[in-house]
Amino acid sequence: MKILLVSDAWSPQVNGVVRTLTTIVGLLRARSHRVHTITPDQFWSVPMPSYPEIRLALTSRRRVAATITGFAPDAVHIATEGPLGWLARACCMKRGIPFTTSFHTRFPDYVAARTGLDPAPVWRVLRRFHIPATAVMVATPRLAAELASHGLTRCQPWTRGVDLALFRADVAAHPAFADLPRPIALHVGRVAVEKNIEAFLAADWHGSKVVVGDGPALEALQSRFPGAHFLGSLHGDALASTYAGADVLVFPSRTDTFGLVMIEALACGTPVAGYPVAGPLDIIGPQGRGASGTGPPVGAVDDDLGAAMVNALSARRVDCAKAGALFSWDHSCDQFLAALAGAQPVPVPEPLQNPVPQAA
């Protein structure tokens, strides 16, 4: 199959969306599918305000359309709601080309967290973006139900996976952990206000706190919480060693749609603590026994994040590792292809005079 993937999130950005997309592209090519990408690294770009490492592509609908028609894909997937996503959507709508989308980020909640503005208008923009798609791929049933409440009912499952060759329970702890008082609570992810890392750093804890990641809030958090240990952005074996060396991974975000770091930590044998919100509830479960609610403890959720952190320590590392191993990238790839296979032509093109909104 010839598959065109359009994404405003791509290397060298470092986040769960980029890791998901690049992993799936690699798997698709390994299965002999022809994959062509339209991503920001192919164009002139400008830094996104307040997120300079995120580049916004500067190009035209004509150029994007030429790429689409020149490749003549069997399937088009538009992964993000940024400038490239809107341009590709407009081209597909004009030509009646079927396309799928995926919902990775709760932009309305991010906007509210960063500005205090009402998220409702942003939800309307996102609904307009996704409504023509033959399928909106979502990581969890809870997210599908949420999108349905906003009028997006054609959701298809697309879960996430773990590189089990990298994230394993037998990995040695990171050297930076050698002299830290136990237990060690770890946060991994972008250091930004919407990730709610402040709640983690302010929570009562009787051991050490470690933050792995970079972002616009790093300097402020280092200043406010000098007792925490900030290791910067880590990847590969170094990242795996932080998961394996920690006693609990803390996921304080209230806005993420999944949380890839949670299943990576579990695969390394580390229990997870979070709030009882989408993401932790889908992976850890309301009782800390996984999404099914019937397995052994693998973490804890609680409105008191400090309590969740303490309660998560009772989980056995062997049970956590087994839970993490259930998330397969091959299964994720199967789901992606299944959603593409159900695509049908878009029946009514959108009028060309409509403006193309920029990134939400």
Task: Give, in order, the Cα–Cα distances in Å from 131 to each of 148, 149, 153.
Answer: 11, 13, 9
pLDDT band at 354 (very low <50, low <70, confident <90, very high): very low
Instruction: For the chain, report the end-to-end CA distance as a whole number of angstroms.
Output: 31
How crowded is the C-beta side of 353, counted as CA atoms within 13 Å?
0
Q: What is the pLDDT of residue 288?
A: 98
Question: Is 2-161+331-341 a domain of CATH 3.40.50.2000?
Answer: yes
Task: Show the 3-state SS of 20-43.
Answer: HHHHHHHHHHHCCCEEEEECHHHC
Is residue 109 within 8 Å of residue 256, measured between CB atoms? no
CA 53 from chain centre, in angstroms, equals 16
Q: What are phi and psi of 140, to 5 degrees?
A: -145, 155
Helices (H), 31-76: 61-71
For residue 330 the two structure tokens come to 């091959």
Measured in residues, the chain has a length of: 360
Q: What is the mean pLDDT of residues 208-227?
A: 96
Check pLDDT > 90 for residue 358: no
User: What mean pLDDT, rounded, does the chain reach?
Assistant: 92
Q: What is the pLDDT of residue 292?
A: 87
Task: Give, in order, the Cα–Cα distances in Å from 231 to each of 30, 238, 299.
Answer: 34, 10, 24
Is residue 269 within 8 Å of residue 320, measured between CB atoms? yes
Q: What is the pLDDT of residue 50?
A: 67
For residue 299 the two structure tokens come to 């973490």
Q: What is the pLDDT of residue 64?
A: 97
Check pLDDT > 90 for residue 53: no
CATH 3.40.50.2000 segments of the chain: 2-161+331-341, 175-326
Is residue 283 within 8 Å of residue 243, measured between CB atoms? no
Q: Give percent of the chain with pLDDT exceeding 90.
A: 81
pLDDT in tens, 278-290: 999 999 999 999 9
Q: Give percent of the chain with pLDDT exceeding 70.
A: 93
How far is the C-alpha of 83 from the C-alpha of 97, rounded, in Å? 19
Q: What is the mean pLDDT of residues 78-91?
A: 97
pTM: 0.88
Check pLDDT > 60 for residue 344: no
Q: What is the pLDDT of residue 236?
A: 95
pLDDT band at 347 (very low <50, low <70, confident <90, very high): very low
In CATH, the number for domain 175-326 is 3.40.50.2000
Q: What is the pLDDT of residue 113?
A: 65
Check pLDDT > 70 for residue 68: yes
Check pLDDT > 60 for residue 10: yes
Q: What is the pLDDT of residue 346?
A: 41
pLDDT in tens, 297-319: 999 999 999 999 999 999 999 99
Helix axes 317-324, 260-267, angle to 10 degrees: 130
User: CB within 8 A of 39, min separation 6: which ones?
Assistant: 6, 7, 8, 10, 57, 84
